[in-house]
Chains A and B, each alone.
Chain A
Amino acid sequence: MKEDLVLPATRDAAADAPPEPLLKVSGLVKHFPVKGGFPVRRTVGAVQAVDGLDFQVAEGESFGLVGESGCGKSTTGRLITRLLEPTGGTITYRGRDISHAGRKQLAPIRSEIQMIFQDPYSSLNPRQTVGKIISGPMEINGINPPGGREKRVRELLEIVGLNPEHYNRFPHEFSGGQRQRIGVARALALEPKLIVADEPVSALDVSIQAQVVNLLQKVQRELGIAFVFIAHDLAVVRHFSQRVAVMYLGKIIEVGDRDSIYARPRHPYTHALLSAVPEVTLTAEEGPARERIRLAGDVPSPISPPSGCRFRTRCWKAQDRCATEEPPLVRIAGNRDGHLTACHFPEEPTIEAREEDIVLDPALAALEEGSAEGPGKS
């Protein structure tokens, strides 16, 4: 398996849904109950964090999940690793349904699905040495690698670019980037098949971010580990993932290979998201200008999401149909294989500047109109 991962062929093939994907998620739902009332606290509603997700991750593939805060991407990560139990739907790992598997059934799978956390400060136990932290998973799973655990830990430290001599040090002696490397070493300790990385670089400084991204990329390519890469930074996700899913309010609204999402997006939200990324223009002879879309307001509450298409309240193309009928996630005309979009009125597949900017924010529109006094709004 390891050898053919570097071949570009596998990347494209991954999109065509190979016979048995490593991980298959269908109709995944997670609702968190909202309690309220007195004296008896009753369930008065539910935060619909994840509401019907379908996707697959092939072996050795890197799958990116992007979206803004509250879109359910972290919850998805925790559901896949089964740190949370889904309310509905199924998670199939190598053909086995693990959606409601108990502790005993999960034990053998736990070692194959590992997680890297966002905050390198709170995800390492300050009272344990690095050696203990990294060998912990081996101890729990009763794994005795040839040459002993300590030797394996030293190897792992070397793989992630730390000095093996640091075996006996404590986490506080390391910088943020180094701690994240310890987290990576811990995730690698059991030779996993799938790593869920939840915002692994967003707590780090720019110059350190690149070090960790390169390390993860090396690990993914050389060890053939599949990644579910969760991040809000679109450029980092593009750099790391072969296939990308864009989430909005608990749903995947567009999924496809990297090129389709970043160069030929169809969903209005993907357009808005891409156009909002602040970019450095480095050369004067940069290609055509990018489109400018400024949405109004924030993401609605996931406790009572809008009916129909969830993006319709902030969408400039929304019509009556969007409120009544939820658009299915399908391949629409003009899309490439594996590029699915959930929209009734998709956009043109380009990110070049339009004739007129789309500015939905009333305050912005008012200021830009020049009629600065009394911005027009209801």
Chain B
Amino acid sequence: MTTVTKAEGAPAPTGPDGFLSVRDLQVTFSTEDGPVKAVDGLSFDLHRGRTLGIVGESGSGKSVTNLTILGLHDPLFTTIDGEIVLDGKELITATEKEMEKLRGNRVAMIFQDPLTALSPFYTIGRQIAEPYMKHTGASKKAAWERAVDMLAKVGIPNPKERARDYPHQFSGGMRQRAMIAMALVCDPDLLIADEPTTALDVTVQAQILDLLKDLQREFGTAIVFITHDLGVIADMADDIMVMYAGRAVERGTVTEVLRSPQHPYTWGLLNSMPRLDSDLGTPLAPIPGTPPSLLTPPPGCRFHPRCTFRDRVGGNRCATERPPLGPDRSSACHLSAEQKQTIFVEEIRPRLG
């Protein structure tokens, strides 16, 4: 890291509801080729009942962040620095026993591929009932009834019979529904959804997204929603954090980030994505180059080798100095606020149509 900026680590509003807060999180994996810093100085807050959308391409560190929250990393090869506080409890230093009490109970996760995340040996009903029995001490019978109830709630027809089925007897969309039922069975405070609809078809994706939103309204769960699809984020999230090469580059509410994005990477993402109503005359404007290798990340702003606006920043700051990211609506870029606004209004927005 070149310049440690205080803004990242500065205390953000930790109000009474700010119940998940991550401060200056650093995750480093040791690999054969050397250390890989998958997450580099990440801070964010999540409030009860809200949805934080994390967008980024593969390798941006969005999944690693969330596996770390759940403590699902391999401790032999991973070093973690920083703070993860869930409702006043520090998670990085928590013991395995304490984490076990948390997982599936207060914090639950929905994975991308339900077929690999569900065990092929046990019935769907049993897999949903198991965490409920473990965490609430309910009897087998009560837990089974709860599982059937949950299956009904997520829209599995004939839940009584289907609970006795194995995952391979479910279709892709139904498996993802079963995963949601399993995640919500203990009424968690925090739900982490890691690309939950990427493997699904659009019509099924629309059903699942709406289902998640409706269930959130009912249960009041906070959701961390990870995806690479800006359309899905626009549909689901209250707040957005855009990640690039292990760092957050822009954050704000959905409206702020999507209607007046301020970071060149976010502009690039929006410009390179065809939409159903985009103008067909203009070709897509892809971001040049490829994402950097995290073994040898570029110094300064990690996006600068691909950024088309870096020559508008005085000196060589983009290549030497890490731009700070504030706690609220902000973007980590050396362009001045006026520059960002002018570039967006004059050069980016007309392209978006």
| Residues of chain A at the chain B interface (Cβ within 8 Å) | 68-69, 175, 177-178, 205-211, 213-214, 217, 232, 234-236, 238-239, 258, 262, 272-284, 287, 294-299, 361-364, 367-368, 372, 374-375, 377-378
How many whole Å from B264's CB to the nearest CB in chain A? 12
**Number of chain B residues whose Cβ lies closer than 8 Å to a Cβ of chain A:** 57
Specify the chain B residue showing the minimal Cβ separation from A372. B218
A209–B275 alpha-carbon span in the complex (Å): 13
A211–B252 alpha-carbon span in the complex (Å): 28
A378–B235 alpha-carbon span in the complex (Å): 30
Q: CB distance B203 to A276 under 8 Å?
A: yes
- Of the residues B58, B177, B234, B285, contact of A210 by C-beta under 8 Å: B285
Q: CB distance B276 to A262 under 8 Å?
A: yes
Given contacts A298-B172, A298-B174, contact A273 B275 (CB under 8 A): no
Which applies to chain B's interface (DSSP): helix, strand, loop or mixed? helix
Write out the residue numbers on chain A whose beta carbons fall within 8 Å of the beta carbon of B276: 234-235, 238, 262, 274, 277, 279
The residue in A284, A295, A364 that gathers the most chain B C-beta atoms within 10 A of its C-beta is A364
How many whole Å from A318's CB to the nearest CB in chain B? 16
Specify the chain A residue showing the minimal Cβ separation from B280. A239
A150–B273 alpha-carbon span in the complex (Å): 35
Given contacts A279-B276, A280-B231, A298-B172, contact A177 B290 (CB under 8 A): yes
Q: CB distance A278 to B205 under 8 Å?
A: yes
Specify the chain A residue showing the minimal Cβ separation from B205. A276
23 of the cross-chain contacts (CB-CB < 8 Å) are A175-B290, A206-B57, A213-B274, A235-B273, A262-B276, A273-B202, A276-B202, A276-B206, A278-B231, A278-B234, A279-B235, A280-B230, A280-B258, A281-B234, A283-B259, A287-B277, A297-B174, A298-B174, A298-B201, A362-B155, A363-B211, A364-B207, A367-B218
Q: CB distance A367 to B211 under 8 Å?
A: yes
Write out the residue numbers on chain A whose beta carbons fall within 8 Å of the beta carbon of B206: 275-276, 278, 294
Q: CB distance B207 to A282 under 8 Å?
A: no
Q: CB distance A210 to B204 under 8 Å?
A: no
Specify the chain A residue showing the minimal Cβ separation from B286. A210
Write out the residue numbers on chain B whose beta carbons fall within 8 Å of the beta carbon of A214: 283-284, 286
A208–B210 alpha-carbon span in the complex (Å): 29
Q: CB distance A361 to B234 under 8 Å?
A: no
Interface check B272, CB cutoff 8 A? yes
Given contacts A295-B207, A367-B215, contact A277 B172 (CB under 8 A): no
